[in-house]
Amino acid sequence: MDTLQQFYINGRWVSPTEEATTHAVINPANEEQIATLPLAQAADIDAAIAAAHQAFPSWSALPLEKRLGYMEKILEAYQAHLPQMAEAISQEMGAPITLASKVQAPMGLAHLKTALAIAREFPFEEAVGQSLIRREAAGVCALITPWNWPMNQIMCKVAPAMAAGCTMVLKPSEFAPLSANLLTQIIDEADLPAGVFNMVYGDGAAVGPLLSSDPRIDVVSLTGSTRAGESVSREAASTIKRVSLELGGKSANILLPGCDLEQAVTHGVRAMMANTGQSCNAPSRMLVPEDQLAQAEQIAAQVCDAIVVGDPSDDATVMGPIANRRQYQRVQTMIEKGQQEGAKLVAGGTGKPEGIDKGYFARPTVFSEVNNQMTIAREEIFGPVLVMIPYDTLENAVDIANDSDYGLSGYVFGDDSQARQIAARLRTGNVHINGAGPDIQAAFGGYKQSGIGREWGRFGFEEFLETKSLFLPS
């Protein structure tokens, strides 16, 4: 990928405008350097914003079918490069190749297909009363994405923004640049008008404020940490622009009395350990009836023992490494914190799994006898660490679930009717009932410090539109 040394600005691959600091891209499975990136400076960001700003009037005015025609080309090329995309994701952030091939890479494709379908049916104009309501492109968008689900989080922004008629500057995570680089090559092959799509690498703490504060940017869409969300909101405030934030989570998984405990615990542990626990909506707090806690602990330990941790390129691997050294160190610190606070270690613990001495591999870890005031129950760990919290009544379970700074996701397992009643009481943006998976037609986003706005499906599409009322004479 020779273009890793360049940014994509105004329809061309370009070198940094000045001597740039660099970032080493590390394969987390073996700790070996696989690439070096230039990190954008202020002049590079300015050039990218200027290109998107100049391209917006003509792109937003282009007939919808012409915009979608370009996107069809991107879809076709993405589909052709699906194996390479999966390989890039696996190398850059350690996802097992089976997960990268079956879920991670295809999620980008799914969001692209969804945006195309929605755009073709979307009511860009409709009569309301005696007026005409128009929904128009919101403007120039800064899209800032993380490393844990690279293509899911890039394409659920890029695809609807592009279909809506917006132009954009994408800043992917410097920890996951290979997939973003490949996507940019795919978009370049589609021959979009210059400036519609721009991509720069950069350090989020430095680049985020430059993008968020610029008056030429109309929309900032960030997926990242709560701290990053605070920074973006603060920097965007002076120019009063739309900010969409998808942030962290500490999702409760309530196992109802009378549920199939074996099935519920097994599903909960596996869901937590998927993607090495690096999902903002992971079911990281398992709430268990107190009289069933001991049995749940035994099941959880058995499930963890069966999880194959190892080389992401091996088809048998279930759990790969944590994506980078910084995150690995945080996970180890949080496991130590759990032990210091007196939680019962049911499985795993600090250090690497037995037989692994290289790479950022962590052990699937479960704590029990946790109370909701412990650090490991309050803070997002973002690694393969599950906490089990006992409860005595359903009222108590709901109170514990809602007693969190976050409100991204929730999980309920048990009688369907009762589960739906409990789900309705959870202060979260989405709830998975009895093992249901995500639905990209539905809304994704959170309450409280889990964010502002929604992504996915029609709801994510609307984030990139402004509403205009034309008051017509009677």
Residue 97 has pLDDT above 60, yes or no: yes
> Running DSSP on this structure, what letter comes out for residue 60?
H
State the Cα–Cα distance between residues 29 and 94, nearest whole angstrom: 6
What does R_g of the chain's alpha carbons equal in angstroms?
23
State the Cα–Cα distance between residues 294 and 25, nearest whole angstrom: 43
The two three-digit tokens of residue 232, written as one number: 């973006």
Mark whether 205 and 290 lie in a shared domain: no
Mark whether 340 and 275 lie in a shared domain: yes
Domain extent, residue 306, equals 252-441
Mark whether 258 and 238 lie in a shared domain: no
3-state secondary structure at position 112: helix
Mark whether 195 and 127 lie in a shared domain: yes
CB 364 within 8 A of CB 319: yes
Residue 363 has pLDDT above 70, yes or no: yes
CB 454 within 8 A of CB 160: no
Residue 20: band (very low, low, confident or very high) from pLDDT cuts 50, 70, 90: confident
pLDDT digit string, tens, across residues 268-308: 999 999 999 999 999 999 999 999 999 999 999 999 999 99
Mark whether 131 and 226 lie in a shared domain: yes
CB 142 within 8 A of CB 212: yes
CA distances from 214 to 169, 222, 241, 361 (A): 12, 15, 10, 40
3-state secondary structure at position 446: coil
Q: Among all chains, which residue has been given the structure tokens 């379908």?
A: 117
Mark whether 271 and 238 lie in a shared domain: no
CA distances from 59 to 88, 164, 181, 235 (A): 30, 10, 23, 27
If one counts the domains in the chain, the total is: 2
pLDDT digit string, tens, across residues 113-164: 999 999 999 999 999 999 999 999 999 999 999 999 999 999 999 999 999 9
pLDDT at 222: 98
Mean pLDDT, all residues of the chain:
97
**Gap between the terminal Cα atoms of the chain:** 60
CA distances from 81 to 105, 108, 177, 185 (A): 10, 12, 16, 10
State the Cα–Cα distance between residues 349 and 90, nearest whole angstrom: 25
Q: Which CATH number characterizes residue 369's domain?
A: 3.40.309.10
Residue 1 has pLDDT above 60, yes or no: no
Mark whether 332 and 194 lie in a shared domain: no
pLDDT at 2: 66
pLDDT digit string, tens, across residues 239-264: 999 999 999 999 999 999 999 999 99
Mark whether 199 and 258 lie in a shared domain: no
State the Cα–Cα distance between residues 29 and 322, nearest whole angstrom: 8
Task: State the greatest distance between any 2 C-alpha atoms of the chain, in Å, as a whole number.
Answer: 78
Mark whether 161 and 290 lie in a shared domain: no
State the Cα–Cα distance between residues 316 and 306, nearest whole angstrom: 12
Mark whether 141 and 273 lie in a shared domain: no
CB 286 within 8 A of CB 386: yes
Residue 19 has pLDDT above 90, yes or no: no
Report the amino acid identity of residue 446.
G
Listed residue (372, 2, 6) closest to 200, CA to CA: 6
State the Cα–Cα distance between residues 191 and 183, nearest whole angstrom: 13
Residues 6+ apart with CB under 8 A from 291: none
pLDDT at 3: 80
Mark whether 19 and 122 lie in a shared domain: yes
CA distances from 21 to 9, 57, 224 (A): 19, 34, 22
- Can you tell me the mean pLDDT for 316-322? 98
CB 362 within 8 A of CB 322: yes
The two three-digit tokens of residue 380, written as one number: 């997002």
pLDDT at 128: 96
The percentage of residues in the chain with a pLDDT greater than 70, rounded to a whole number, is 100
pLDDT digit string, tens, across residues 326-354: 999 999 999 999 999 999 999 999 999 99
State the Cα–Cα distance between residues 9 and 199, nearest whole angstrom: 6
CA distances from 6 to 39, 178, 183, 201 (A): 10, 12, 14, 9
- Can you tell me the mean pLDDT for 103-120? 98
State the Cα–Cα distance between residues 9 and 413, nearest whole angstrom: 48
CB 453 within 8 A of CB 428: no
Q: Which CATH number characterizes residue 455's domain?
A: 3.40.605.10
Residue 423: band (very low, low, confident or very high) from pLDDT cuts 50, 70, 90: very high
pLDDT at 474: 85
Mark whether 264 and 285 lie in a shared domain: yes
Q: Among all chains, which residue has been given the structure tokens 């942030």?
A: 247
| Strands in 64-181 per DSSP E | 125-128, 131-137, 140-144, 167-171
pLDDT digit string, tens, across residues 174-193: 999 999 999 999 999 999 99
State the Cα–Cα distance between residues 422 and 428, nearest whole angstrom: 12
Active site residues: 246
- Can you tell me the mean pLDDT for 28-40? 96
Listed residue (136, 135, 178) closest to 154, CA to CA: 178
CA distances from 353 to 268, 321, 348 (A): 21, 10, 8
CB 321 within 8 A of CB 309: no
Q: Answer whether 0.85 is exceeded by the pTM.
A: yes
